Chain A
């Protein structure tokens, strides 16, 4: 085996090494993090800081339910925020699944998607939309409060990354749009997309009142109706429910 030559240790190099280690420690806030681990935050608290209690991944709430109800099964978990899966935080491979017990995270009865103005007659929504099965109503917010009358055709499209449009919904509009929401109650699976964006376009306009429209809000009902379930625990928008059967 190769023997390392024992050479005297250079003080200059030692200082450089020391200096570099200090930079690594400083860059990564190691002193503060060590202090936090020792003084303030145990493992559960740190997990909650990272993943939230009843927001985002909501690991805090999942761990709370697991501990409070001493779960001896793996419940079904549905998160209505677009986050990474959170099942892992309480999953136990030795236990069976029980789909009759469900933990709902960030649950809302209704979703509102705000479309922002892009061009004169185009409004867009650029985030993912998931877990919807219908479009319930369309609402318009206007810059000025005076009544805005529109006569034309409203079309809702999903646009893929190649800018190809696919029509989801089309409707003629011939009314004052800012007095009350327009109920449409349109059932569709197409109003869900992971990669695409959504676009609302006005055509065949008979007047020029579009300049007063600031945003268009589409509302969808949550596909999960909590009223069909028995609520065992609730904190903010997080629920632990079981099926009534």
Chain B
């Protein structure tokens, strides 16, 4: 009998759920300090995740003992819970929370059973997670292959592998499952329908996108998750009711940008594309906030470069990097070979992804129906920029089919979450035009 393992999974699920539901941000603090009325309970959990992950970046880079940090954070949660209890704030546990918890447990069981790692995970991601699990410092990453790859994903894995139960490695990856479910349920709140219908929408997205391989230890799923977190806040920037106080949204977006930067290099590229598209087409953001957004983006990138240079860690690994100058020596036959292969794989991955399969035709419809809609224009520009980025594979020194086959799918899946905005935008416009009974 191995009931021990099942009980560990149950306790890990409950621990992670409570860890993020009851830490820094709660209703009281939000109302008092950041004075935001539009954030929902799920937004607060997302904010807790953002704050926690940014703190993780700091403690990992400065090699702070993770045990001290863990107990400090637990103390913070206990204080928050005590304060809530004394001030008689009800613990929010709704119908939606039951579904989230149930799904979290179900998908964690799947993860615990499968155990398969991806190739890259066996090569270096696992070792990075092990580095933090075994309390080795940040500089020790230099001894592991591809030391210049961002390390946040494996740090999260290593952290929850160690805390609180210090047991099987997959207990760390269970945190990814929580972030995934949280991101989808959080995004569902952009739909102006009742909570049950939002839950149905979330379940359909999970049904369409969940696949164990996404959680095989690779950090790509984290890009999808964090960009989906960003999509929710981006949606707020296009609502006139948030216009008066956009700073908490911008703050949250920058927090996500920093997390993306330390998760995978592509993450910050997509984030910059998104921010750039928003700045150009969103008229609801004032110039000052636009300036804050763009300068802060460059600042967090610069900060990472400076930090890594001080610590003598490679900023980028050159093993698989592209060299645009190589393209000058390419003959016509090779140009044709590379371009056709890239286009072929883009097409294949587009039709294999349920999100693209639904959202891209809807995007065309949406653009036709609402030509001047700023969100449509933003997404169109974002699409153009991402499409251009996919052709980076053209300059790769590695065999183009290999790069296209094994990297492009991950890149495309990573930013697919942003396209869910097409569904919510179109759906909300349809509902408001028809003043439907489903409206909240």
Spell out A's residues near B (CB within 8 Å).
1-2, 4-5, 7, 9-10, 13-14, 16-17, 20-21, 23-25, 27-28, 30, 33-34, 36-39, 41-43, 46-47, 50, 57, 84-86, 88, 91-94, 161-162, 195
Residues of B at the A interface (CB closer than 8 Å) are 1-3, 5-6, 27, 30-31, 36-41, 44, 94-95, 99, 102-103, 106-107, 109-110, 112-117, 119, 122-123, 126-127, 130-131, 134, 136, 140, 143, 168, 194-197, 199-200, 203-204, 206-207, 210, 212, 333-334, 337, 399-402, 440
Bound: A16/B140 CA distance, A: 50
B67 to chain A, nearest CB (A): 16
Closest Cβ of chain A to B104, distance in Å, is 12
Known: A38-B2, A162-B337. A46 touches B134 (CB 8 A): no
Given A38-B3, A93-B134; A24-B203 close (CB under 8 Å): yes
Query: Given contacts A93-B136, A161-B399, is CB(A9)–CB(B337) below 8 Å?
Result: no
From known contacts A13-B200, A24-B207, A84-B119, infer whether A37 and B131 are also in contact, taking CB-CB under 8 Å. Answer: no
The secondary structure that dominates the B interface is: helix
Q: How far is the CA of A16 from the CA of B103 in the complex (A)?
A: 15
Tally the A-B contacts, defined by beta carbons under 8 Å.
129
> Which residues of the partner chain B approach A17 to less than 8 Å between Cβ atoms?
99, 196, 199-200, 203
Contact A1 B2 (CB under 8 A): no
Bound form: Cα–Cα A93–B128 in Å: 10
Query: In the complex, which residues of chain B have a beta carbon less than 8 angstroms from the beta carbon of A43?
Result: 5, 115, 168
Q: List 8 A-B contacts (CB under 8 A).
A: A9-B196, A17-B199, A28-B107, A28-B210, A34-B113, A38-B2, A86-B122, A162-B337
Minimum Cβ distance to chain A for residue B86 (Å)? 19
Residue pair B6, A38 in contact (C-beta under 8 Å):
yes
**In the assembled complex, which residues on chain B have CB atoms less than 8 Å from the CB atom of A1?**
27, 30-31, 36-37, 39-41, 44
Q: Given the complex of chains A and B, what is the CA–CA distance between A13 and B195 in angstroms?
A: 10
- Docked CA distance A85–B124 (Å): 9
Pairwise interchain contact B106-A25, C-beta atoms closer than 8 A: yes
For B143, what are the chain A residues with a Cβ–Cβ distance below 8 Å? 93
**Which one of A7, A47, A86, A88 has the greatest number of beta carbons of chain B within 10 Å?**
A88
Closest 4 CB pairs of A and B: A33-B113, A13-B196, A20-B203, A84-B122
